[in-house]
Structure 1
């Protein structure tokens, strides 16, 4: 359970740990994977999201049929592996991560500091060529597996800040800035390639993309041979999922999908002249967001996505109360933001938005060795993301399914809004509801120092009015 005093100590510690943080432009050759939490770069480049928009349709058609699901998972696994390999054949291309089946990548060469003619156009051309070849590559995978991915690309150019964060011994390369956000926001859920406002003026000057080299047909066949359908087993977890040991095994379970976002932070980054303190604050609050999901409420941290976090709550990790715990974590996130606004003045205008949905999901760990991503598939994942996108600062938005599964006292903290439910509750309000449940009537403090002091129901006692222990 989240406690304010402990959170303040952690935030100050995290903030102090980055006192030597530096942020400077990326102007020469550097492996972005070598960045640290205190060594950041402003990267001028092109952000790309490549999304199989019909994945959910394939999942729906497979339903509970394990054999169909195994075939689909194999298709996704091979697709992600060859797509990553294709990306890394391009100079100056970097995989950020897969958000489920959606690839997020950046193209940052040639640098503006080189004598190459028109670097912005060449970076956009590289992204455009990758999209074209990725579509050809996807067809080659289809020829081997029988599944077709209909792809949509979102592309935007501009400056973003590259940094890293750790998760359970792993390092996550992260980008913060408007270009990364805009590339995602132009996606519509339909096939095609769409460009953000900064990339659009260059589109008319793009050269025709080169065809995918013929050798990729053999590469796809070899990948399919290495990963026969029999390797893809599904299981229902009886304990917390060990992602590092999943491999191509896939957990199938009911879970609450959770997204929490720092609303207004990207705008701050764009407007700030000195971005150093913003990044120090970001590292501090992101560490606390991880603490809330993982340590305080027993969820799993799936990944950071810029200035937001994706979490997953389920029975085997968080107990049968896992849905209620996901909302308690959301309320704690709102309290985290209030504390940050008080302690870190740079974040005074930043808010927290949270979205939660519930449903059947598949959880696996896909990609190339040493460069894999936790992948969570299921309708509730994009639904939770959309709920978070639709929330205003200070709000938690949940689906009817989530609301129906909450305990009655927690339901009282919500108001209906269309087909969803909205709450502005923080950790203190949730704690007060839980205390009222525990002590439905009046209580008294009894006992002595020698025998032990305790709170008990008492008709002649007092009615608890607010939380005293969440602090």
Structure 2
């Protein structure tokens, strides 16, 4: 097994190859027009889309994850079923109303209303009506005390965004970059009260008064009723719920069955996962978010040549962050969330996670991400793309993690949810432009060198790979010492072991945005 190290020479070759793969001359910026298919975009094409962005947050997901004192299988089984029930209902609404499904990331939906074309007020009314439909439907799609109805908060904004391809293979959904996506996400994540929250930009378009605090002023029942009347949606609450119930009878969710993945996560095939083949084990999870990207998009979106640089910068930076996680440290990307990478990392055996080594390698991986990020900005600048205003915020945590796919049959969506996942996102949110934050559990489970490196605030500024490896190795961290020695780290990693017969599972291939926005 290879050691987990970051190499500047390897990173430079990778980044340069990424820059060379799609020259600016090959990138095309197009205007979104009637019936444009955004579901399978080429990486060489981006669309400028005038649309209404809707984010819907399930507010009681955290309550579900804390339904038991211990974060055991029962807690995760309940939470995943809770999400799956509501995913199925919301996917049905999105499909019926012909909106663009951008992302389902755990408790958060992002969809875009692009029709009717050339009628922004009507698009906003439709978004409001769809938001209320989601709230009303999910109020009825709970099953019992263990799987209650979802409480939903909706955020809406309208404006120009850039649509690009957001993935590979079976998960190539579109990604929308720009202020309306960012601001809608902030409204949905701006508080703990349910309801529909519009930005002042969207409020003015449909003739509503602007408000002092967008996050504290939900639409009134009368305002929602007006939008519902103008929208004339094809879906009704009763019909969606009836179809949802019929689908559950025809395609029962079944019982979530858990098994561990033999480390490392680099070999995990997400496309093979489902309810009956869900992965669960102690591991680390990370959020690496590009800071300042929304402003970067806004400054360049209206000019075709400048917009090409946005597309190039996003592709190179995210690709390299993913490569550091997957190639250098043998982790696994769960998904891209806007300009953020969410991933998993684990060391040990099928039966037992080596928690100290996992945390140390996660620290080294975070350092490698920052070193690669800086190098990528430098190489992009040399190639004519100035993205020096961008920063990188990294947050990670340790604990019981899940990995599966949820949703409608034939249209399953990746999911990794746990208390640690929510905490990692919160830790990332604590960071400024160039900071790395470690969660409380990872801080406790890591080596003393890890605790010394991050200090009592559990946050460190400008921590690149050299800082991480030297900071840990100089304090006696065995994983960092092996990494610094240039490859001896492999001896620290335990060999893969098979599970006992009753728990074996054969791996075989089968087939928003963060709450606080993109920057």
Whether these two folds match at TM > 0.5 is yes
Whether the aligned pair in 2 keeps the contact of 1:75 and 1:141 (CA below 8 Å) is no
Rate the CA distance shift 1:315–1:222 in 2: closer, same or farther, 3 A.
farther
Paired position in structure 2 for 1:5: 9
Distance 1:208 1:347 in 2: 40
- 2:274 is aligned, of 247, 256, 273, to 247
Paired residue secondary structure (1:271): helix
Whether the aligned pair in 2 keeps the contact of 1:71 and 1:229 (CA below 8 Å) is no
Matches within 5 A, 1:302-317: 302-315=334-347
| 1:98 corresponds to 2:104 | yes
Paired position in structure 2 for 1:367: 407
Distance 1:65 1:227 in 2: 26
Paired position in structure 1 for 2:30: 24
Aligned length: 432
Q: CA deviation at 1:368?
A: 2.5
Distance 2:421 2:272 in 1: 22
Distance 2:297 2:82 in 1: 38
| 1:344 corresponds to 2:380 | yes
Distance 2:359 2:470 in 1: 19
Whether the aligned pair in 2 keeps the contact of 1:248 and 1:364 (CA below 8 Å) is yes
Paired position in structure 2 for 1:176: 177
Q: CA deviation at 1:383?
A: 2.2
Paired position in structure 2 for 1:282: 314
Matches within 5 A, 1:156-171: 156-167=157-168, 170-171=171-172
Paired residue secondary structure (1:155): strand
Distance 1:270 1:284 in 2: 19
The answer to which structure, 1 or 2, has the higher relative contact order (CA under 8 A, 6+ apart) is 2
Whether the aligned pair in 1 keeps the contact of 2:397 and 2:420 (CA below 8 Å) is yes
Matches within 5 A, 1:86-235: 86-91=93-98, 93-112=99-118, 119-142=119-142, 147-167=148-168, 170-186=171-187, 187=189, 188-202=191-205, 204=207, 207-209=226-228, 212=236, 214-228=238-252, 230-235=254-259
| Deviation string, structure 1 residues 351-384 (Cα, Å, up to 9, x no partner) | 1111112233333211234432211222222222
Whether the aligned pair in 2 keeps the contact of 1:413 and 1:423 (CA below 8 Å) is no
- Extract unaligned runs of 5+ from structure 1: 113-118, 441-453, 455-471
Moved more, 330-339 or 361-370: 361-370
Paired position in structure 2 for 1:443: none
Moved more, 283-292 or 78-87: 78-87
Q: CA deviation at 1:142?
A: 1.9
Distance 2:193 2:143 in 1: 22
Paired position in structure 2 for 1:412: 452
Paired residue secondary structure (1:200): helix
Moved more, 64-73 or 393-402: 64-73
Q: CA deviation at 1:64?
A: 5.2
Distance 1:391 1:403 in 2: 16
Question: Please, what TM-score do these two structures have when normalized by structure 1?
Answer: 0.84
Paired residue secondary structure (2:373): helix
Paired residue secondary structure (1:35): coil
Rate the CA distance shift 1:386–1:143 in 2: closer, same or farther, 3 A.
closer
Q: CA deviation at 1:399?
A: 2.0
| Deviation string, structure 1 residues 65-115 (Cα, Å, up to 9, x no partner) | 755754543332132122112111113x11111111211111111222xxx
Rate the CA distance shift 1:69–1:347 in 2: closer, same or farther, 3 A.
closer
Question: Please, what TM-score do these two structures have when normalized by structure 2?
Answer: 0.77
Whether the aligned pair in 2 keeps the contact of 1:340 and 1:347 (CA below 8 Å) is no
Rate the CA distance shift 1:82–1:71 in 2: closer, same or farther, 3 A.
same
Paired residue secondary structure (1:141): coil
Q: CA RMSD in A?
A: 2.7
Paired position in structure 2 for 1:51: 57
Moved more, 267-276 or 74-83: 74-83
- 2:41 is aligned, of 35, 45, 56, to 35
Paired position in structure 2 for 1:268: 296
- Extract unaligned runs of 5+ from structure 2: 209-222, 479-487, 489-519
Paired residue secondary structure (1:347): coil
Whether the aligned pair in 1 keeps the contact of 2:136 and 2:237 (CA below 8 Å) is no
Q: CA deviation at 1:18?
A: 1.5
| Deviation string, structure 1 residues 117-136 (Cα, Å, up to 9, x no partner) | xx111111111111111122
Rate the CA distance shift 1:260–1:170 in 2: closer, same or farther, 3 A.
same
Moved more, 277-286 or 218-227: 218-227
Q: CA deviation at 1:324?
A: 1.6
